[in-house]
Amino acid sequence: MKLLVSPKSLEEAKVVVKHEEVDFIDCKNPREGSLGANFPWIINQMKNLIQINSSQLLSATIGDFPNLPGTASLAALGAAVAGADIIKIGLKGPSTENECIFLMDKVVKAVKDYNKNIKIVAAGYADKIRMKSSPDFLSLPVIAAKSGADIVMLDTYIKDGKGLFDFLTIEQLKLFRDTAKELNLEVALAGNLRKDSLPQIKEIWPDIIGVRSLVCEGYDRINGMIKGNLIEELKAELYR
């Protein structure tokens, strides 16, 4: 299980990069939403923090996207040019499976035509019940596979203290994992994870766990700063 940590600034990224136990430095802007996008120069600056011989990779979010495939594909290409190794897009707006596949297909084409080695993440939301659109969690692996994405992810859309396990059970998440694995996809789980969520995460054992609040001072994803000691505590707990 690999660890993804989401810094919002260069200052935070400098803290995260120092910890080799962090596999993915995930550039995002929490003020713009669950998967809020940061600026391309911030992506580029974070990429330059990673040593050439390091195994760490830079991921970047491009937003909680409405059903705008052209805009999404341009945003994804922008993140690729800025230096992202992995690009995450939140499927907020598409309301049908076909709409989701069409959007993701264009994102994948835009990025893979530029660099076939960049991985694409199709992200959905465990708290879909609180949204007007977005695909059901079990349709996400199919959407990712049919569009040529590499990783399928579940997060939460509304950040109000409720997390992944407030909306989906361990059994549902294991089914999500198994469905994705049958389609040769990597699985990532995130969504306001707390320390008491970690035993459940370890039972599911996804390929990737994504966090921000959990390693921020005061558990505050917006105003709190990422702290190195909290990263160390998380990794120790995950592999205890």
> Tens digit of pLDDT for each residue in 123-146?
999 998 898 888 999 999 999 999
Residue 131 has a pLDDT of 86
Tell me the pLDDT band of 117, cut-offs 50, 70 and 90: very high
119 belongs to the catalytic site: no
The answer to whether residue 38 scores a pLDDT higher than 90 is yes
| Separation between Cα atoms, residue 231 and residue 21, nearest integer Å | 9
88 is catalytic: yes
Position 161 pLDDT exceeds 90: no
Q: Would the pLDDT of 239 be above 90?
A: no
Catalytic residue among 47, 88, 106, 159: 88
Catalytic residue among 28, 92, 106, 128: 28
- Please give the pLDDT value at position 133: 83
Q: Residue 97's pLDDT is what?
A: 96
- Domain ranges in the chain are 2-238
Q: Looking at domain 2-238, does it have CATH number 1.10.540.10?
A: no
What's the pLDDT tens digit per position in 204-214?
999 999 999 99
